[in-house]
Amino acid sequence: MYSIFTGSLLISLLHAVIPNHWLPVLAIGKKDNWTLNEVSKVTLISGLAHALSTVSIGIVLGLLGLQLANTIQYFTHFIAPAVLILLGSFFIYQHHRHKHFHLHNTPKATLPKNKIILALVVAMFLSPCMEIEAYFLLAGAYGFWAVASIAALYLVISVTGMVIWVRLAYTGILKLNWHALEHKSGIITGWTLLITGIISFFIS
């Protein structure tokens, strides 16, 4: 169980840092001269939409995992860890084929502010983090409390992290190579899933 929470924590932190979760808001805000508070507020709203869609899918998968754990004897020991290992291998493979994930289209800043915000929120809601969903499935084998705990962890860390990062970037305190970070996110995600699956296989 500890490996599931650790993996979920790492994925949540990673997806809070990935720039295309909040960089579109920052880019539009800078271009249209939004204040720091405006940029932070829009990031919070769009981040919540993104997290809520992810959590909604996760809860459904968690309930599925709970049912499977009750009906399939080896789900917790073999099937669930295998899902993590396969997903991790897939993300690593896709990384080496130069595929990126979570690329959100940035609405052009020629629209009224309320329509730009709506477009950002809808785009984020319709692109949930599929990388963490396997952890919800695996957590379901331990009961709904585990699913709810991962949901709360992901929502708080990802949304809070997005707001913190966008505020730091807006003020110029934070200067990183965002393209390189985005490029490496796939392989980091893949190895996190893969290692969690291996650990779960041996200690579940």
Which residues does 22 contact at the CB level (< 8 Å), separation at least 6? 43, 46, 47, 162, 163, 165, 166, 169
Distance CA 80, CA 64 (A): 11
The per-residue pLDDT for range 101-156, each reduced to its tens digit, is 444 444 444 567 888 888 888 888 888 887 788 889 888 888 899 999 999 999 99
The domain containing residue 117 runs over which residues?
A: 2-203
Number of domains composing the chain: 1
Give the pLDDT confidence score for residue 17 in this predicted structure.
Answer: 77
pTM, rounded to two decimals? 0.74
